Amino acid sequence: MSDKNKVKFGLSNVHVAKITKNDEGGITYGTPFKIPGAVNLSLDAEGDNEPFYADNIKYFESYANNGYSGEIEIAKLPDEFLTQILGQKVDSIGGIVENVNDIISPFAFMYQIEGDQSGTRFCYYNTTVSRPSTEAATTEDTKTPNTDTLSITTSARETDGQVRYKLPLSDTNKEEYDSFFDEVPEPKDEVSI
């Protein structure tokens, strides 16, 4: 399978699925839920290469894949994200309470980037975020929306080292592509090209 797109643009279909760890070290994913209003995503690869020199040449080089880090900008974080991922609680009248003891949960992070032929869908298996900053501004001549920006970090899944899954639409995967956001996708087979 190859991605037939020549260019990429746009960001949509941001979904997250909370990770729950069991006593044996295994993980399960909750049902993915959508975070509407994706504005911007920037993820930089993390990890360095280490060259080894012998015989007066670069004899060997090792590479470390430490995932990705960056930021995601959302129009407005939904309450479901605040409670399921950021660990905040809902009181009896619907208020959301942030507490110093809130535990931020890791999650699978999924989204889609458009292309000139079709969209490509991505899943990062082990993701964490920081709490967003709070910003507000007075309304002037025009109403410019404020957004929520989160620092985001992805790393390898502890159980098998998987970092990311990328699925461009093809003639053979339409069913898997269409159901991509229904549950966290897993690689079907290890196949090398």
pLDDT tens digits for 37-86?
999 999 999 988 888 888 888 888 888 889 999 999 999 999 999 999 99
Q: How confident is the model at residue 28 (pLDDT cuts 50, 70, 90)?
A: very high
Closest CA to 5 of 122, 119, 115: 115
Span 166-177, average pLDDT: 91
Instruction: Give residue 192's pLDDT.
Output: 62
Q: Residue 193 has what pLDDT?
A: 57
pTM over 0.85: yes
Backbone angles phi, psi at 62, to 5 degrees: -110, 150
More confident residue, 112 or 62: 112
pLDDT given for residue 2 in this prediction: 66
pLDDT band at 189 (very low <50, low <70, confident <90, very high): confident
pLDDT tens, 126-158? 999 999 887 777 788 888 888 999 999 999 999
Whose CA is closest to 110, among 55, 179, 28?
A: 179
**Cα dist from 50 to 65, 68, 87, 128, 159, whole Å:** 12, 18, 39, 27, 26
> With bands split at pLDDT 50, 70 and 90, how would you rate the model's confidence at 4?
confident
Mean of the per-residue pLDDT values for the chain? 90
